[in-house]
Chains A and B, each alone.
Chain A
Amino acid sequence: MANDAEIHDRLSRVEEIIGQLDADECDLEEGTQLHEEGQELLAEVREILDEGSGEVVELE
């Protein structure tokens, strides 16, 4: 399956986290947890983009 949804969902959540940090709606500990979540999501996006072997299959 195409990876569009997986990538889009993660990037949207990161944008949400940025919004939450910007709005300053949480304490330092919660903010640190949000920051870590964002970092993890972005790492996952990189992993998704790296998935696949790029094989070429011929069908007669």
Chain B
Amino acid sequence: MADASDADRQAVEPDAGEVLSVSQLNDRIASVVQDTPALNSVRCIGEVTDLHQNSTALYFTLTDGDAELPCLLWANRYREMDADLEDGTEVILEGDIDYWVEGGKIDLKPWEVIVVGYGDQAAAVERLRSELEERGWFEDEQKQQPPAFPERVGVVTSLRGDARYDIQNAIHEQDPTADILVKDATVQGSEAPTSIANGIHHLDRSEDVDAIIVGRGGGSDSNLQAFNTERVAEAIITSNTPIVTAIGHTDDRLIADQVADIATITPTAAGEYIVNSREEFLASEVKPLEQHLEAEYETFQQEHEHEQELAEAVGEAAAPEGVAPVYYKAAIAVLLLLLLLITGLWLGVI
């Protein structure tokens, strides 16, 4: 642009030290995106993930396994297309890269969608799922029941993630006395499967860990791929310690969830599940039993005291009478004297 105007040049070369508002900066980014020919009419191949829609548009992420790009397809345009999109569909999209100024987000808005087939990643997950199902890894017989009152809970997650604190807080909310052992793990990316599996093995070998929570916060399907791997599934199925998954997502089709003894949909839910509420248990189990014991003993005691009183009364009634009245004794004495007199007369003594 040899004869660019001053205004144009200013847009490209801002004053050094100039402080922009977020809106101004986002406007500037939008201009760059809009005015870059390389970002218009692009064609991109990838796999559809995290598809959701409303009456206005379809929102999904296009991924090649290493990188992701948010996409937005207007609903009226989609209805005109001969394309049926779902998670795992491999597509070639043609459209423009757009920058949403208010939200500060970039996305691809396709006007053309060519369905290539079913994505490699999704197909691989389905193959693994079928294989593990054949091995019986999803069977209920394989499931262990976590204890209701664990002394120590193991957690495999990122030490720096929110999930770790959600789990911790939920556990201590229910039972402040439970100990928690947090094993740091990489929960996304190519290192994640090994890291998560090693974390599970490590805690499983700790004899004093009563139950293990494996989890992370929500994320795109690609972010959660580690939980769809054989490495993690194997660590879960071979664990002697009961495993509860706590992966923040709405899709219940993660392989780790299917293999786990218990699957919960958020880290908080896992924390709440893994320990019984101490207060609730006292109120619902211990206190009523205490009251029952006291009531039963009171009844027992009253019955026995009543019986004792009756026995005493019977005893008193059966006991010999006390000293006879004086006149009765006198009568006996007179009778004895008479007997002696008669005897005397009869013997001719008198």
B-contacting residues of A (Cβ < 8 Å)? Answer: 1-4, 7, 11, 14-15, 17-18, 21-22, 24, 27-28, 31-32, 35, 38-39, 42, 45-46, 48-60
Across the interface, B210 reaches (CB within 8 A) one of A1, A48, A49, A59, namely: A1
As a 0/1 sequence over residues 246 to 290 of chain B, the CB contacts with chain A under 8 angstroms (1 = contact) are 000000000000000000000000000000001001100110011
Across the interface, B177 reaches (CB within 8 A) one of A27, A39, A49, namely: A49
On whether the beta carbons of A56 and B182 are closer than 8 Å, the reply is yes
Complex CA distance for A38 and B180, rounded to whole angstroms: 32
- Among B195-242, those with CB < 8 Å from A are 202, 208, 210-211
Complex CA distance for A50 and B149, rounded to whole angstroms: 11
Complex CA distance for A54 and B202, rounded to whole angstroms: 21
Q: How far is the CB of B262 from chain A (nearest CB, A)?
A: 15
Nearest residue in B to A28 (C-beta to C-beta)? B304
Complex CA distance for A27 and B183, rounded to whole angstroms: 57
Across the interface, B308 reaches (CB within 8 A) one of A2, A28, A35, A58, namely: A28
Across the interface, A59 reaches (CB within 8 A) one of B182, B289, B290, namely: B182
18 residue pairs A–B, Cβ–Cβ below 8 Å: A1-B208, A2-B151, A4-B148, A18-B289, A18-B293, A21-B293, A24-B303, A28-B304, A39-B293, A42-B290, A51-B151, A54-B176, A54-B178, A55-B180, A56-B180, A57-B182, A59-B181, A59-B183
Q: Please name all residues of chain B whose beta carbon is closer than 8 Å to the beta carbon of A53 when the two chains form the complex.
A: 177, 179
Q: Please name all residues of chain A whose beta carbon is closer than 8 Å to the beta carbon of B278 when the two chains form the complex.
A: 49
Across the interface, B289 reaches (CB within 8 A) one of A3, A42, A52, namely: A42
The interface residues of chain A, by DSSP majority, are classed as: helix
Q: How far is the CB of B163 from chain A (nearest CB, A)?
A: 14
On whether the beta carbons of A57 and B210 are closer than 8 Å, the reply is no
On whether the beta carbons of B293 and A54 are closer than 8 Å, the reply is no
Tell me if B184 counts as interface (CB < 8 A to partner A): yes
Q: Please name all residues of chain A whose beta carbon is closer than 8 Å to the beta carbon of B303 when the two chains form the complex.
A: 24
Tell me if B28 counts as interface (CB < 8 A to partner A): no
On whether the beta carbons of A2 and B210 are closer than 8 Å, the reply is yes
Tell me if B82 counts as interface (CB < 8 A to partner A): no
Q: Please name all residues of chain A whose beta carbon is closer than 8 Å to the beta carbon of B293 when the two chains form the complex.
A: 14, 17-18, 21, 35, 38-39, 42
